Amino acid sequence: MLQLVFLIPIIAGIAVFFLPVKIGRMVLIGTAITHLLITALEWFHVTGPLHNKYFSNTPEGMLVLAIMSFLFLFISLYTISYMAEVEMSKEPTFNACMLLFLGAMSMVTIADHIIMLWVAVEATTLMSAPLIFVRRSKESLEATWKYVLICSVGIALALLGCFFIIFSMEMSNIHVPISFSSLSDVADQLNSVWLKAGFIFIVIGYGTKMGLAPMHTWLPDAHSEAPSPASALLSGALLNCAFLGVYRCHQLMHSAGLGDYSSNVLIAFGLASMLVSAIFILNQTDYKRMLAYSSIENMGIIAVGIGIGGLAAFGAMLHMIHHSLIKSSLFLSAGNILLGYGTKSIDKTRGMLRLFPKTGMSFFAGFAGISGFPPFGIFISELLIILGAIQAGRYVAVTIFIFCLILIFAGASRLVMQMIFDENKEDDRLVPETWARALPPIILLLTSMALIIWLPDSLYQTIQSAISSIGGTIHG
C-alpha cells in the first residue's frame, strides 16, 4: 500500500503527457487530492506498518511526506490559474513533470534501502529539470544546465558515500540488508573510519541538493528561473527531501556512537550556509533570488538545529514544517508579483500595497513570518533552536547564528519594504490579481499560524519519535 504514494503520481504523470491540457489540469488536482488522502491513511497507520526490503514508513519520512502532500495540493490549485494566465505552450509537459516530481519526492520519503534512497534523490533532480527550463529562455537554460550538472555530480559523490557505508559493514563481516533500519540495529559494530568517510560524502552529496554552502551555487539560479509554482515546490518540498537523506545518515551515525562527529559536521555546514546567504542577500536586485538565498539560510538553520540536538532538534523539525509553508507561500506570491509587473527586479516592483493589495499583504505577512516574527511558526522554532544551543553550551555557534539572523533580516527587510510601501507613480498592471491565485499563499500562511496555536497531538508525537533516535526531546 505504501508504494501507492509514489506509484499513483508517476502513473498520472505519464498519462498527463498524452492527455489534452484541460483534462490534464483535472488529473493534476485529482492526483493531488488522492495523494493527500493516501498520505493521511499512512500517517494514521490505517494500513498498518510496512517493512519491505526497500521501503518503510518512518516518522521523519512521514513528516516530510505530509508537508509535501499538503503543499502540493495548494500549489497545484495555484498552478492551474497561473498556467491559464501565462498560456504556456508546453503546459502538458509542465503538469506531467510536476506529478513525476511529486512521485520521485514521495519515493525519497519512504525509501529505506540506502541505494534506493539515492536512486530516488537523483530521480527528483531529473524530474524537476524540465520544470525549470520549460520557458526555454537563455537564462532558464543556463539555470537548468547548472542544476542538472552540479546536482548530478554532487549526488554521484553521495553514491560513493553509500558504498563506503556498505563497505564499513563488510569490513566487520556483518551481513544484513543494506537498509537504514537494519543497519542501525548493528550500527555499533560497523567500522567507524569508513562510516565517517561515508557520512562526509553523503553530506556533500545530499547537501548539494539541500543547498548547503559551499555547494549551493545552483540554488539561486534554479529557484529564480523556474516558473513560480515550480520554485515553490523546489523550495518547500525538494529541499526537505534532500535534508531527509542527510538526516537518515545522521541517525545512523548516532546509533553507531559517532553522533558528536556528525553533529559538528552539520553545524559547520549549517553556519556556513547562513553566513553565505547573509552576505549575498544584502545586495540582491531580484526578489526571487532573494527568496532563494533565504531558503539557503533556512536549510542552514535546520542543519544547525539538528546538529545541536536536544531541544534544538525539536526546533529544527518544527522549522522544517514552517519554512516549507511560509516559503512556498512567498514563492507563490512572487509568482503573482511577476505576473503583475512582468519583471523580477526589486527596483521596478514598488508600491505593491496600492497596486496589488492581496498579494502585497500575503508577501509582507510571509516576509514577517520568514524573519521570525510571531504569530508565525518560525518564531517558535528559532527560539527553540537558540535555547537548545545555549543549553548545550554551544556559545560560539549560537552567536554566529543570531548574528546571521539579524544580518539577513536587515538586508532583506530593506528590499521588501521598498517593494511594498514605496511610492509608484505608474499604474501599469499587466495582469490583475485574482482570488484564485491570491488564496493559496494566504491559506499556507494561515496554516503556519494555526499550527502555532494548536499543534495536533499526532504531529507532536511524530516529531518526538522522529528525533528520539538522535537524542532530541522537547523536555530539554
Partner 1 sequence: MIHISNILLALILLSVLLSLRSNRLMALVKLMAFQGVVVSAVPLVLETSHGVNVNLFLFFLLLVLVKGILIPGLMYRAVKWVVVDREIEPIIGYHASLFAGLIMIVFSVYVTNHLQLAMFSESHKLLMVTGITTMGAGLILLMARRKAITQVIGYLMMENGIYLIGTALAKQVHTQYVVEFAVLLDLIVAVLVMGIVLNDINHTFDDVDTTLMGQLKD
Give the per-residue contact string, 201-220, with partner 1 (x = CB under 8 A; - = no). -------------------x
* Least distance (Å) between residue 165 CB and partner 1: 9
Angle at which helix 114-132 crosses helix 192-210, to 10 degrees, equals: 20
Q: Between the CA of residue 315 and those of 115, 302, 377, 439, what are the distances in Å? A: 29, 8, 10, 28
* Contact in structure between 234 and 225 (CB atoms under 8 Å): no
Residue among 70, 66, 61, 69 at smallest CA distance from 109: 61
Among 80, 148, 303, 332, binds partner 1 (CB under 8 A): 148
Beta strands in 184-270 (DSSP E): none
* Least distance (Å) between residue 217 CB and partner 1: 9
**How many binding residues for partner 1 (CB under 8 A)?**
46
Q: Give the footprint of partner 1 on residues 360-419 (CB under 8 A).
A: none
Among 160, 353, 436, 455, binds partner 1 (CB under 8 A): 160
**DSSP line for 388-409:** HHHHTT-HHHHHHHHHHHHHHH
* Least distance (Å) between residue 97 CB and partner 1: 10
146 binds partner 1 (CB under 8 A): yes
Q: How far apart are the first and last CA of the chain?
A: 37
Among 5, 16, 143, 368, binds partner 1 (CB under 8 A): 143
112 binds partner 1 (CB under 8 A): no
* Least distance (Å) between residue 29 CB and partner 1: 26
Among 171, 268, 439, 449, binds partner 1 (CB under 8 A): 171
199 binds partner 1 (CB under 8 A): no
Euclidean distance between CA atoms 450 and 454, whole angstroms? 6
The angle at the Cα of 106, spanning 100 to 109, to the nearest 5 degrees, equals: 150
* Contact in structure between 152 and 125 (CB atoms under 8 Å): yes
Q: Between the CA of residue 346 and those of 45, 224, 283, 334, what are the distances in Å? A: 47, 13, 11, 11
144 binds partner 1 (CB under 8 A): yes
- Residue 52 Cα to chain centre, angstroms: 26
Q: Between the CA of residue 471 and those of 76, 147, 311, 439, 474, what are the distances in Å? A: 37, 35, 9, 39, 10
* Least distance (Å) between residue 193 CB and partner 1: 9
Residue among 360, 384, 361 at smallest CA distance from 452: 384
- Dihedrals phi, psi of 286, to nearest 5 degrees: -125, 120
Among 59, 84, 90, 167, binds partner 1 (CB under 8 A): 167
* Least distance (Å) between residue 31 CB and partner 1: 21
| Three-state secondary-structure class, residue 345 | strand
Among 55, 70, 247, 280, binds partner 1 (CB under 8 A): 280
Residue among 124, 70, 80 at smallest CA distance from 102: 124
224 binds partner 1 (CB under 8 A): yes
Nearer residue to partner 1 within complex by CB, 90 or 348: 90
Nearer residue to partner 1 within complex by CB, 9 or 307: 9
92 binds partner 1 (CB under 8 A): no
Euclidean distance between CA atoms 402 and 382, whole angstroms? 10
Nearer residue to partner 1 within complex by CB, 143 or 438: 143
The region of 142-150, 330-338, 345-353, 457-465 touching partner 1 under the rule CB under 8 A is 142-150
Q: Give the footprint of partner 1 on residues 120-139 (CB under 8 A).
A: 122-123, 125-126, 129-130, 133, 136, 138-139
| Three-state secondary-structure class, residue 111 | strand
* Least distance (Å) between residue 135 CB and partner 1: 11
Nearer residue to partner 1 within complex by CB, 107 or 355: 107
261 binds partner 1 (CB under 8 A): no
Nearer residue to partner 1 within complex by CB, 121 or 301: 121
Nearer residue to partner 1 within complex by CB, 92 or 315: 92
Q: Characterise 455 by phi-psi region: left (phi > 0), alpha (psi -120 to 50), beta (else).
A: beta
**Three cell numbers written together for 351:** 508600491
119 binds partner 1 (CB under 8 A): yes
The total of other beta-carbon atoms located within 10 Å of residue 350's CB is 19
* Contact in structure between 205 and 157 (CB atoms under 8 Å): yes
The region of 9-17, 44-52, 150-158, 420-428 touching partner 1 under the rule CB under 8 A is 150-158
154 binds partner 1 (CB under 8 A): no
Task: Kindly list the residues in this chain that would bind partner 1 in the complex (CB under 8 A).
Answer: 54, 113, 115-116, 118-119, 122-123, 125-126, 129-130, 133, 136, 138-139, 141-146, 148-149, 152-153, 156, 159-160, 163-164, 166-167, 169-171, 175, 178, 220-221, 224-225, 280, 283-284, 289
